[in-house]
């Protein structure tokens, strides 16, 4: 399995494609907003002879779901996400207006993901971790064989997700990171919803939000 990152839309959101070369792929958090971003994602899929089999959201804030409609329509996919984050889908169109970021409404959640579920891509297992705090239904996707986790907006390099939006709570978020992410092997690479990659050991040692007093 390989991981391809795109950085899309004015919020500089990271979209990920997990793929088997010339095989199936999973699209996570499509943030493609402008037509050229949609075509960039489509061209990558087509040029690499990939077959999208799943559309998945770590959480449903508008910058992570603004490409859901395009991906679902282009490849005839159903949306998979936590039902605990459905409220963010409901709020997304109005939130887009507030941020002067109008979006096409996302499809509703068709496949409900929860803690302990496993998604498979070829012979790779992707373990679903519930990591709330940034939102109620924030999920992280841990891939043991790849020593990697797609963490959405829970954990960033030297930072953590914001908690001032509906469903956010800083204590809950820090507990999620400590109990679900910091218990992963220390060499685990962290692919975040914004910014550059990091790893668990580096964040344990250096993240200012997570140092024990």
Q: What's the pLDDT tens digit per position in 15-57?
A: 999 999 999 999 999 999 999 999 999 999 999 999 999 999 9
Q: Do 11 and 63 meet the contact criterion of CB atoms below 8 Å apart?
A: yes
Q: Where are the domains of the chain?
A: 2-210
3-state helix, strand, coil in the chain (%, to 5): 30, 30, 40
For residue 55, what pLDDT is reported? Answer: 98
Distance CA 127, CA 114 (A): 10
Give residue 59's region: left, alpha or beta (phi > 0; psi -120 to 50): beta
For residue 188, what pLDDT is reported? Answer: 98
Task: Find the mean pLDDT for residues 174-196.
Answer: 98
pLDDT at 213 over 70: no
For residue 154, what pLDDT is reported? Answer: 98
Give residue 158's region: left, alpha or beta (phi > 0; psi -120 to 50): left
Q: Which residues contact 191 (CB under 8 A, 6 or more apart)?
A: 3, 5, 14, 16, 148, 149, 150, 151, 197
For residue 176, what pLDDT is reported? Answer: 98
Indicate the class that CATH gives domain 2-210.
alpha beta
Query: Which two three-digit tokens encode residue 182?
Result: 């910091």
Q: What's the pLDDT tens digit per position in 155-179?
A: 999 999 999 999 999 999 999 999 9
Distance CA 131, CA 161 (A): 11
Percent of the chain residues topping a pLDDT of 70: 100
Position 212 confidence tier, pLDDT thresholds 50, 70, 90: confident
Name which of 13-17, 51-55, 70-74, 95-99 the model is least confident about: 95-99
Distance of CA 173 to the CA centre of its chain: 15
pLDDT at 88 over 80: yes
Quickly list DSSP for 97-133.
HHTT---PPPPPEEEE--TT-EEEETTEEEEEEE--S
If DSSP codes are grouped into helix, strand and coil, which group holds residue 138? coil
Task: Find the mean pLDDT for residues 140-152.
Answer: 98
Percent of the chain residues topping a pLDDT of 90: 99
Query: Which two three-digit tokens encode residue 203?
Result: 């964040």
Query: Which two three-digit tokens encode residue 196?
Result: 């550059």
Average pLDDT, the chain: 97
For residue 61, what pLDDT is reported? Answer: 97
The pTM of this model reads 0.97
């Amino acid at each position: 399995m390989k991981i391809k990152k795109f950085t899309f839309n004015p919020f500089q959101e990271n979209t990920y494609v997990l793929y088997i070369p010339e095989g199936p792929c999973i699209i996570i958090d499509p943030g493609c907003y402008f037509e050229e971003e949609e075509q960039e994602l489509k061209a990558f899929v087509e040029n690499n002879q990939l077959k999208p089999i799943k559309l998945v959201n770590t959480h449903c804030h508008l910058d992570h779901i603004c490409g859901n409609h395009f991906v679902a329509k282009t490849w005839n996919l159903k949306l998979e996400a936590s039902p605990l984050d459905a409220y963010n889908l409901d709020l997304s169109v109005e939130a887009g207006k507030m941020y002067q970021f109008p979006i096409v409404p996302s499809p509703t959640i068709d496949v409900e993901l929860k803690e302990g579920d496993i998604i498979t891509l070829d012979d790779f297992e992707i373990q679903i971790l519930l990591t709330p705090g940034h939102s109620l239904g924030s999920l992280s996707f841990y891939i043991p064989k790849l020593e990697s986790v797609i963490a959405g907006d829970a954990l960033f390099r030297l930072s953590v997700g914001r908690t001032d939006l509906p469903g956010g709570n800083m204590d809950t978020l820090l507990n999620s990171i400590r109990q679900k992410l910091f218990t992963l092997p220390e060499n685990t690479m962290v692919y975040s919803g914004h910014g550059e990659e990091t790893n668990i050991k580096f964040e344990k040692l250096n993240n200012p939000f997570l140092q024990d007093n």
